[in-house]
Amino acid sequence: MAINSKENLFLWVIQDNLRYHGCMKVILIILVAFLALIFLADSIFKVAYPYPSKIKYGVTFSPKSANDLKLDWQEIYPKILDDLKVKNLRLPAYWDVLQADESNDDYSGVDFMLAEAGRRQAKVILVLGARQPRWPECHIPDWVKKLSVKDRQEKTLQFITKVVERYQNNPAVWAWQVENEPLLASFGEGCDPPDKDFLRAEVELVRKLNSKSIIVTDSGELGFWITPMELSDIFGTTLYRKVYDKTFGYVTYPLPPYFYSLKSTIVRAIFAKNNQKTIITELQAEPWSPNNDFKNMPIAQQLSLFSVDEFRKNITYAQKTGFDTAYIWGVEWWYFMEKMGHPQYLDYAKKVFK
């Protein structure tokens, strides 16, 4: 638009502001309507919202997390299978462990976990890619960090190929999870910016290599879910109740349980009709550590931040989401707390998996 005078400039600014505020008004109306649907739908969900008769529980286990807590992970892992009777596992394949050295691969840790799971007829979701469960989220070898983003992506695809080809015939592995919350830009350290096209390329590669189910995950509270649900056979949501924010400190999400199921139903109906189901891949059962460092946080503070009663409430909350599968987050911490003289978390977990 050509601006020939101050008067025309003034009119253009007014029109532009009206257009901007008109868009903002529409967005605000949609947001308010969505929130109203969530918080006023209680009577509808009481009638039409089916709860599963039984929930299948599992755990995410991280050798790195156990090591950070000064635990012997190869001693703890079999206890999870034998003492807790866990039959469903979500396990990482950390790139910076498996290929710490460009010329020497070391799959011994994953081999051990899958062998122990197989002996006990436990079933495993194996996580693929650079972004994996536990801080710093992106577990990239130092030799790969030096590469350009394009070259790093190519190495990621090569790494995924190696892992899939090694374990594709392992009967313990029933599903591949491609990356972990790959589109969550606000959380993680040393990660490349989210790239939907590259995520699509990763999923397509895994589909080409093997026919096991594919899971893609997203933040339950912060993610839009659209692309992860569209790309996956099974969508995985995280579910955290009390988190830490640098500005507000500790906050509890004010969301009713059916928020997650409602969100799942809407996104699947509009964007991902071929997606089969939604599961909870991370159900909070440990305190949120601002510094991701439990071993240096006073035990009294940990106890106050996450009690057994909160553990129990989170299990009850998950049951009311309507999803029939939940992988609990925090098993390494339960064993750490037992070592610190507080076995109550493990005691309660045994009841959950009974």
pLDDT tens digit sequence for 309-347: 999 999 999 999 999 999 999 999 999 999 999 999 999
157: which 2 tokens? 């695809």
Q: Pairing mode, if any, of strands 56-60 and 325-329?
A: parallel
Amino acid present at 120: R
So what's the pLDDT on residue 9?
A: 43
Note the pLDDT tens digit of each residue in 263-320.
999 999 999 999 999 999 999 999 999 888 888 899 999 999 999 999 999 999 999 9
DSSP string, 154-185: HHHHHHHHHHHHHHTT-TTEEEEEESSSTT-T
Alpha-carbon distance of 260 to 282, in angstroms, equals 13
- In sequence order, the 6+-apart residues with CB closer than 8 A to the CB of 168 are 209, 210, 212
Q: Scanning the structure block, which residue is given the tokens 């695809």?
A: 157
Note the pLDDT tens digit of each residue in 220-257.
999 999 999 999 999 999 999 999 988 999 999 999 99
Contact 234, 268 (CB under 8 A): no
**Among residues 288, 291, 280, 287, which one has the least CA distance to residue 342?**
287
DSSP string, 19-69: HHHHHHHHHHHHHHHHHHHHHH-HHHHHHH-PPPSSPEEEEE--HHHHHHT
So what's the pLDDT on residue 17?
A: 45
Note the pLDDT tens digit of each residue in 125-136.
999 999 999 999
Across the range 208-228, mean pLDDT stands at 97
Alpha-carbon distance of 126 to 113, in angstroms, equals 11
Alpha-carbon distance of 125 to 86, in angstroms, equals 13
pLDDT of 8 above 70: no
So what's the pLDDT on residue 45?
A: 57
Note the pLDDT tens digit of each residue in 112-170.
999 999 999 999 999 999 999 999 999 999 999 999 999 999 999 999 999 999 999 99
CA dihedral of 320, 325, 331, 337, whole degrees rounded to 10: 20
Run of H or E including 200: helix 196-209
**Among residues 249, 246, 177, 244, which one has the least CA distance to residue 217?**
177
